[in-house]
Amino acid sequence: MKKIIITQSNYIPWKGYFDSINIADKFIIYDDMQYTRRDWRNRNQIKTQNGLQWLTIPVEVKGKYFQKINQTKISDRDWGKNHWNTIKHNYNKGRYFKDYREVFENLYLNTDEEYLSKINYNFINSICGILGIKTEMVWSSEYDLLEDRNERLIDLCKKCGATDYYSGPSAQSYMDLDLFEKENIKVHWFDYSGYPVYSQLYGEFVHAVSILDLIFNEGPDSKKFMKSFNNEL
């Protein structure tokens, strides 16, 4: 049995993203797909004293966003300093902010990456290290693939020896399950409901924020509030 997840890279994703990585044997970063505007590729939300706030990495766009995700470059070299100042201002009272400050300060202030995909990868990889996630990560661009969306996914699964493919619930609207069944690949849907509440700053609890919120507030106990570590996903 070999479990595969295939998804685009996101910027400082929420806890469900890391749960999906943790449950798989191999995580394929699907970054040779078209870049989409106002999506999770280059932005995410954090909690602040004044409510939710978007942190958005400014990127260069070509025409009507015809470039692939892995071809997308940042457009402002100061983005890291700006984001870190915002995070520091809003999470310096988090119980475990000091414990992880050096890791994230380095990611934000000492990067010379110009491509969005590489920036996202560095954050994802470091956060996986903090959480103890050991799933193998590879790029979809490492493989020669078919063009049809469903066939590409199946082709990736086959080339990685997958027996089980895991996906978010929104993919049910376009995936052709019969094609997967013909290749003896079992499809599973993640259930992101029922997450436990943790100690969170600034008023009413919100689940759909960057995992930085969980790490800065719960530190080494973060895994207790994630479903994959408790066999609930």
Instruction: Map out the domains of the chain as residue ranges.
Output: 3-230
Type and span of the H or E element at 79: helix 79-91
pLDDT of residue 171: 81
pLDDT of residue 66: 75
% of the chain surpassing 70 pLDDT: 97
Letter for the amino acid at 103? V
77 vs 64, higher pLDDT: 77
Contact 78, 38 (CB under 8 A): no
Residues 182, 178: Cα–Cα separation, whole Å: 6
Q: Report phi then psi at 65, rounded to 5.
A: 60, 50
Mean pLDDT value of segment 46-50: 96
Letter for the amino acid at 37? R
The model's pTM is 0.95
Segment 124-146, tens digit of pLDDT:
999 999 999 999 999 998 988 76
Residues 146, 172: Cα–Cα separation, whole Å: 20
Q: Which residues of 53-90 are buried (b: 16+ CB within 10 A; e: fewer)?
A: bebebebeeeeeeeeebbbbebeeeebbeebbeebeeb
